Amino acid sequence: MTNTMSGLSRPAAATAVPSAPVSRTGAGFGGIGLVLGGTLSVQFGSAVAALLFPRVGPFGTVALRVTIAAVLLLAVCRPRLRGHSRTDWAVAGAFGVALGGMNILFYQAIDRIPLGPAVTLEVLGPLVLSVVAARRAVSLVWAALALAGVFLLGRDGFERLDPTGAGFALAAGALWAAYIVLNSRSGARFPRLDGLVVAMSVAALMSLPLGLAAAGTALLSPGVLALGLAVALLSSGLPYALEVLALRRLPAATFAVLMSLAPAVGALAGFLVLDQTLSASQCAAIVLVMAASAGAVRTGRA
């Protein structure tokens, strides 16, 4: 997640710093490297999170990731909480609910289906948002391309993927689209990353009771806490920093197009870390959805 397109379960820092025009070719290549580094970090963070599932389950993993990230953000950002209206708090609260729900649903998905297809289905949420926002006839082409990708994923039967897992991924994508909208509105009402800190805290309050109920004291095991910290840093802390630096070097549209690589990176992470393999038709489906995502972003820019 992210906040652009990625797996999120993407971070929200992308809206915090306006993009600057690229002044040098070297800066552009450096920005691309930062974006790819952030994408790799997020998707491999999701793969590491899956390693925690046998010990604390998806709910426990989400609780660790979101709670640790919230604590780190509170310590680093030290948000100013005074002087905000009820509407401001309502927006930040809704942002947190979308953030927490997106992570809970996505982790339920990757507990049931491989990481690559899960990210591919999840990214359909932001893709639909891009198509609707563009309001151009050519947007229907990208929508059709994405639907072709989904058809390929299910050509052998969604039973192979587990229909429940696919449903969780699609639901996570719907909340990802809501997350993008609420992230933007929260960023307009709160300075710096204060809105994100509030939202992450709300998400932690949502996920922690579920994690405690599912895993209990296992969440306090030193090994589990170490992996939870790694997931929080890989999926939240490091990508925030890399994306902020990237947006100082790249136009926002270029940044967003690069984010469409998330399904492929997710598939790579699933293969290397979790030994997950994909069929030829599933790989083709991922390519189609990536192409639709990139095209939708370019159309929106136009």
In terms of residue numbers, what domain contains 79? 23-301
Helix (H, G, I), strand (E, B) or coil at 18: coil
Q: Is residue 10 part of a domain?
A: no
- Given a contact cutoff of 8 angstroms between Cβ atoms, the answer to whether 140 and 74 are in contact is no
Q: Is residue 240 part of a domain?
A: yes
Q: Is residue 52 part of a domain?
A: yes
Cα of first residue to Cα of last residue in the chain, in angstroms, is 24
* Token pair in block for residue 115: 């990481």
Question: What DSSP character marks residue 276?
Answer: -
- Given a contact cutoff of 8 angstroms between Cβ atoms, the answer to whether 249 and 34 are in contact is yes
What is the chain's pLDDT, residue by residue, as a tens digit (302 residues)? Answer: 444 343 444 444 444 444 444 444 555 567 778 878 887 888 888 888 888 999 999 999 999 999 998 998 888 888 887 888 889 899 999 999 999 999 999 999 989 988 878 887 887 787 777 667 666 667 677 667 767 776 666 655 455 678 899 899 999 999 988 887 888 788 788 887 788 889 889 999 999 999 999 998 899 999 999 999 999 888 877 876 676 567 567 665 566 666 667 777 777 777 787 777 777 777 777 787 777 767 766 665 54
Q: What are phi and psi of 85, to 5 degrees?
A: -80, 170
- Given a contact cutoff of 8 angstroms between Cβ atoms, the answer to whether 177 and 129 are in contact is yes
* 3-state DSSP helix/strand/coil % of the chain, to nearest 5: 80, 0, 20
Helix (H, G, I), strand (E, B) or coil at 84: coil
Q: Is residue 65 part of a domain?
A: yes
- Given a contact cutoff of 8 angstroms between Cβ atoms, the answer to whether 277 and 51 are in contact is no
Report pTM.
Answer: 0.76
Distance from C-alpha of 63 to C-alpha of 204, rounded to nearest angstrom: 6
Q: Is residue 75 part of a domain?
A: yes
Q: Is residue 6 part of a domain?
A: no
Q: Is residue 229 part of a domain?
A: yes
A 10 A CB-CB count for 274 gives 16
> Domain total for the chain?
1
- Given a contact cutoff of 8 angstroms between Cβ atoms, the answer to whether 124 and 146 are in contact is yes
Say what the pLDDT of residue 300 is.
54
Q: Is residue 68 part of a domain?
A: yes
Distance from C-alpha of 109 to C-alpha of 88, rounded to nearest angstrom: 32
Say what the pLDDT of residue 297 is.
60
Distance from C-alpha of 262 to C-alpha of 53, rounded to nearest angstrom: 22
Q: Which of 42, 37, 25 shows the shortest CA–CA distance to 249? A: 25
Helix (H, G, I), strand (E, B) or coil at 92: helix
